[in-house]
Chains A and B, each alone.
Chain A
Amino acid sequence: MSLIYLDNNATTKVAPEVLEVMLPYFKEEYANPSSIYEFAKNANHAVRDARGVIKDFLNAENEKEIIFTSCGSESANTAIQGVLNMNKNKRHIITSKVEHPCVLNLYQTLEKQGYKVDYIGVNSNGELDLAQLEEAINYDTALVSIMYANNETGVIFPIEKISEIIKSKNKETKFFVDAVQVSGKIPIDVQAAGIDLLGISGHKFHAPKGIGALYVNSKTLITPLIIGGHQERGKRAGTENVPYIVGMAKAAELAVDSLKYEASEVKRLRDKLETGILKKVFNARLNTGAANRVPNTSNIGFEYIEGELILLHLSDLGICASSGSACTSGSLEPSHVLRAMNVPFTAIHGSIRWSLSRYTTEKEIDYVLDVLPGIINKITSLSPYQEELENLKKLKGF
């Protein structure tokens, strides 16, 4: 049984070229880049060069604006807490209801510390309510943090427009963008988009887990989250993770090279999977409507059945996807993202996220389209909602 990996928004496989460039920094070039001797020069230069690559990857103005971190969560925590610490007089924050838990849980903690947090809603396609955002910004707003695209739906938020809205309402308000789900999928230009801080995570674009980066523009001051040595210009202490930094830089170069492929070929395969499922399975429902999305993600609800059972049956055939169902994660509530979109209860528990990568093949998509209807049929036959299912079948003309 071969593996069909359609959960690339959870994590990706390390590209062989990435592993290749990392290995020397485990074996031979193991020096601490801060050391004074000649032996440390290669490690030092490798980190310097990698910083340049990430600068270009995000189109930052200057290498000094790039901080290496350990992951997306660290980037977000550093950005948010760092900005708030530097703006102690401002006590208001704005975010969206559909942010990643690393951001939402941090905001809940900040609320307990006395911050006022506004959570901006989305419509039924998962698109952000910009009018609500505009209204929420005031003189006291220290920070707006909005994700570039949602991890569950792939829906892209209009970052450039959001930035304009923020700056028109309060020039002092900082804008942090969690770009973990778009890096490697669409081009990022922090200058053109008017972004103050932006976080990425290597393992979402074929670098290993355990490496991320934070862009902080030169006009934005932050305090470090990890206090210690002078590394990262005092913004993030801890000896540089040289092999991983080198690996992420390589992954970024590869990602830039394949952006066109993502936009055309990955998108074509995603669309093929999506339209195929909607055509073959009567109780399938596209949860995002016509919203603008990253090319690799599709979120489809299967009505009157439950997602974990779908995933377990897919897993028996070597197919990996993920679900917005409560049961999969051990939490008892279904996805906060799908709930914010008001996805009906009939479909929310049976929602499956499919996320492709540039390694996904047409053969794999064909296989999924081949076996999925049988799995859905089998599970649908267990459902106590047979009458409702019959009505749905008629309604959809199957």
Chain B
Amino acid sequence: MKVRPVRGVAAIAIVLVTAMNGVAAPQTTLEFWTISLQPFFTDYVNGLVAGYRRANPGVQVKWVDVQFQAVEQKLLAAIAGGVPPDVVNLNVEFTSRIAERGALVDMDAAVPAADRAKYFEGLWSSGRFKGRSYGIPWYIAPPVLIYNGDLFKKAGLNVLTPPATEDAMIEAAKRVKDRARVYGFMPPLDGTRLMYLFLENGLPVLSANGKLAVFNSPAHVAYLQKYMDLFKADYFPDDTLRRGFTGAVERYSAGQLGMLLVGPQFLLRIKESNPEVYAKTFVAPYPMGKGRVIHAPLMALAVPRASKNHEEAGRFALYVTSDENQLAFSKLTVIFPSTKKAAADPYFRQKGTGPEWQARAIAVGELKFGRDLTVVVPNQTELFKIFREAVEGAFFGKMSAKAALDWAVREWNARL
């Protein structure tokens, strides 16, 4: 084990290692939180844990799997209660929000440069808060278009020529609703996901210096209005804004939705929920917007400052995100590693049959457009709530599209 001091870092900073074959401190128990990996990846995570224990005698790892919706609240409660996990899986939005509270270890300071260099720079810097990174990138999953071949046929659509653009997807969704009598899609409009759609369409959220909100231009308004018109005409269901991708996957799995825009890892859930629907499922590239960029959500591993095992926790996070372990994980579902070496593995260029292989091949092609587009701003909780309320206000008839975006921009600008 190689431990070296990191110059200029406060006492809370941790020192990590570059090798995994060291001798661990005796009788250390690490608590490792993941998000919604049970029951699909139970064996994989148990294997990871067992591997680490073998290589690090005396270190115990306790694995806790938390549901996505609960993880932020549970984490804050655990930190406040003095029983934080040592390593926790977070997305970029959660990471920046918790980092703002000063509750996470600065990974730029903690991880040696040689180790940082193993990760894609773009992923390492995703979600930097005040110029610092607080999570070690784990995996990304660029979204794909998943669609129900039977419903396409019922709607008179060609299964072999799926919509390639956002406008074509909207037209297909209308055909499915009009002819097959089920909803064609549930566009990703819940929470703050309209921000991603703006960015994917070349419509900025912030000014170049980050000091002004600019998402109320006529182009932004027209974009929002397009979806409001679809909603008014009942081309997507009213729980779209409330339940987001969870509701969409559930509806798709029940055979009640024509198309699904999610990460390819959700294919596994569809397969488990309803093999019949899975058998009718096709996969196509995500219909890209005018911005030629795709929001590819990044999962990261963070270390709470309140952990008593910073050093060991960092070592474990590097182990979980190592080339070998990420590659093994990527073979179980359609996700992609955050390390350059693992991503270069020939496995990702192999061909196979079935929707998952289809999805893998498509997603590989999308990686060059993929970025985590989460907008990182101070006071994120309040700003995001304002944005969400503006979008809901527009869709649910409280305000016009222009009034809603003007209001949100005004509120952001007073706070930025």
The answer to whether A and B belong to the same complex is: no
